[in-house]
Amino acid sequence: MKEVYDYIESNKERYIEWLQELCRQPSVAAQNRGMKETATLVEYYLHQTSASTEQLSTSGYPVVFAEVNTNAEKTLSFYNHYDVQPEDPIELWESAPFEAEIRNGKMYARGVADNKGNLMARICAVHAYEQVYGKLPINVKFIIEGEEEIGSVHLDEFASKYPDKIASDGCIWEFGYKNPNGRLQVSLGVKGMCYVELRARGANTDLHSANAAVIKNPAWRLIWALQTLKDENENILIDGFYDGVLEPDETETQLLEAMEYEEREILSSLGLDSFLLNLDGLELKKKLLFQPTCTICGVESGYTGEGSKTVLPSFAKAKLDFRLVGEQNPDKVFQLLREHLDRNGFTDIEAVQLSGCHPAKTDPNDPLVRTVVDNVKDVYGQEPVVLRNTPGTGPMYDLCQKYNIPAISLGVGNEDSRNHAPNENIAIDDYILGIKMMSKIIHEFAN
């Protein structure tokens, strides 16, 4: 592999330019900005390798699908996305969000960490490997969707429609970061999600609050309904909700113990004194990765401006996300929620499921995982931190676990990459390491 690493080093400037060019092309799915141009640009870079490419239509933005078919026995797929989050609030960016300026060894751009840096590192790895060895030792597929930042709304549909295209022996997932200690983290799964909006209605118009003595207040109805969902000890009170939540097994407990979570630094940066329930150590990490949540993401009713307004609201709503683990199922959770509300007398509260996503995880002993974990030291000089899963969510079930494809997530981000926020960035060194790491995985996955 030394020749490949050397090639990457000597072609560093080119690979950095490619990433800059890709980042300079906005691709905001939520606003339909530059989506077509970006899909075509991604194909252009894939054509620097021997990959054949096509844009496969979905009911939303197309998936860029690419394949390097070497007639090898094994196939590795890369899941990425070419869309990015909106760049707001612009005024907090130190350089323009689509300028991709390099300062102090970092490239700053909307999408550079999430996840154009990862996408380009994988393309460059194939490119460098082919330049040095002529041919990959495995088949490689790229599945690059355009809707990850708006909830991967059509990825399940896509996967069902093209089972042959997504088939592989393993998938390298889209994201990955170094932890605050500078150690690479690799993740073997994601939590699932059931996102719900609850809506309560009162009179057909807002009223003077003098009427509140005798007229139903939807804000109160919503508060009373919400408080039946979770108690102050963070117990979620929906019957059957915890079915399918699994305790970590021995291997998972070992991984949890080895996981680095810098408690004091995190609390200090957030201005907090303690974590929920005063947890720390293993129990804290266990809750973070192995427990489901019920989170109020938003709630609104009536007058919320400055000062006093004496109004009896006609409407109230709350947005909830349930992060799911183990064998929990988003549709089942939604059904349990509805039954819970009805059983507690809240038949008047409307519940709408806005999205659903199954949890997913890959066996730590899967050959793909071993290949990745065993080879990180070769590139990074130290062992990775293996996370059983991340607290976040992604469509790993729809694209991988549903089809028995193992998946593992690693990438070029750092602990301060600021995904979805102003001044999103990656370190140039991490980008180059990422290219090397992917070329090493391609090399070793053949065995």
CA-based diameter of the chain, in Å?
80
Shortest Å distance, C-beta 387 to its own copies: 12
Rounded Cα distance between 365 and 362, Å, is: 8
Shortest Å distance, C-beta 340 to its own copies: 15
Cβ nearer to its own copies, comparing 71 with 205: 205
Other C-beta atoms lying within 10 Å of the C-beta of residue 199:
15
Q: Tell me the two tokens of residue 402.
A: 């549903």
Shortest Å distance, C-beta 274 to its own copies: 8
Rounded Cα distance between 324 and 191, Å, is: 5
Shortest Å distance, C-beta 178 to its own copies: 18
Q: Which amino acid is at 414?
A: N
DSSP string, 325-367: -TT--HHHHHHHHHHHHHHTT-TTSEEEEEEEE--EE--TTSH
Shortest Å distance, C-beta 307 to its own copies: 6
Rounded Cα distance between 319 and 308, Å, is: 25
Other C-beta atoms lying within 10 Å of the C-beta of residue 253:
16
Cβ nearer to its own copies, comparing 26 with 202: 202
Shortest Å distance, C-beta 197 to its own copies: 8
**C-alpha to C-alpha distances, 370 to 41, 196, 342, 376, nearest whole angstrom:** 34, 38, 48, 10
Shortest Å distance, C-beta 171 to its own copies: 21
| Strand duo 185-187 + 385-387: pairing | parallel
Cβ nearer to its own copies, comparing 263 with 366: 263
Cβ nearer to its own copies, comparing 16 with 222: 222
Cβ nearer to its own copies, comparing 161 with 201: 201
Which residues in this chain contact its own copies in the complex, by CB under 8 A? 151, 191, 193, 195, 202-205, 207-217, 219-220, 223-224, 226-227, 230, 232, 270-272, 275-276, 279, 284, 287-289, 291, 293, 295-304, 307-313, 316-317, 319, 321, 323, 345, 354-355, 390-393, 420
Q: What string of H, E and C letters represents the secondary structure of 374-431? A: HHHHHHHCCCCEEECCEEEECCHHHHCHHHCCCEEECCCECCCCCCCCCCCEEEHHHH
Cβ nearer to its own copies, comparing 44 with 303: 303
Cβ nearer to its own copies, comparing 110 with 443: 110
Rounded Cα distance between 269 and 271, Å, is: 6
